[in-house]
Amino acid sequence: MPGSQDPSQPNASTDRSLLSMNAATASVQLTGTHSIAMPDSLVAPFLERGERRAVVVASFEGKEVRFHAALQKRKGIYWIMFSKKHQKVLGLFPNDVFEIRLEKDTSEFGAPMPPELEEVLRQDPEAEALFKGLTPGACRSVIYAVSRYKSSQRRIELAFTICERMKAGIRSSRELVMGPKNE
């Protein structure tokens, strides 16, 4: 039908997520509930270097949040996921315009390593070697699983459990984090 289009897909005439930009930052809006369509000017330097992950710095009304994200391409447009947790920290509502900046991700695994996991791996060279042999995505899954707990003791316990699972031959990120189906 002429004039109709998928409202979830940005275009040059209606895309509010790309309101204004310069080489370093862009003013954007949420596109959907958990994602942001990224301006080509922000994504291009990363793609030219072959990088598909970045540290995102989002700011709104004097508040700032930093997180690691994948640059995901869907239908010719690069997107990042932007969780409700981060939206809440900034106090964002769906139509709010906020600033976003991408920085080079210098972390080893594409996510910040929790100190508890790092220490458990440091003390267990076999588990550390197995961890470093996992795919980057599996490493991030383990990192995110350990990081989600507020209690340091719980993070340590999960790190030990994951190390034991790796030494038992489990390599699936799902099974490393949640345990084998028969556990």
Is-contact 82 34, C-beta < 8 A?
Answer: yes
Reported pTM: 0.75
Q: How far is Cα 168 from Cα 161, in angstroms, rounded to an integer?
A: 11
Q: How far is Cα 31 from Cα 28, in angstroms, rounded to an integer?
A: 9
- Among 127, 183, 118, 105, residue whose Cα is nearest residue 146: 118
User: Which residue do the tokens 């992950």 mark?
Assistant: 53
pLDDT in tens, the chain (183 residues): 333 334 344 443 334 344 333 336 889 988 888 899 999 989 999 999 999 999 999 999 999 999 999 999 999 999 999 999 999 999 999 889 999 999 999 989 989 999 999 999 999 999 999 999 999 999 999 999 999 999 999 999 999 999 999 999 999 989 999 988 775
CA distances from 154 to 138, 159, 166 (A): 20, 9, 18
- Among 72, 171, 164, residue whose Cα is nearest residue 127: 164
Is-contact 39 21, C-beta < 8 A?
Answer: yes
Listed by start position, the domains of the chain span 20-104, 115-178
User: Which residue do the tokens 């004039």 mark?
Assistant: 3
When computed from its CA atoms, the radius of gyration of the chain, rounded to whole angstroms, is 19
Helices (H), 21-67: 40-48
The CATH H-level superfamily of 20-104 is: AF2212/PG0164-like (2.40.30.100)
Beta bridge mates, 78: 73
Task: Record the tokens describing residue 120, joined without a space.
Answer: 């458990």
Is-contact 88 65, C-beta < 8 A?
Answer: no
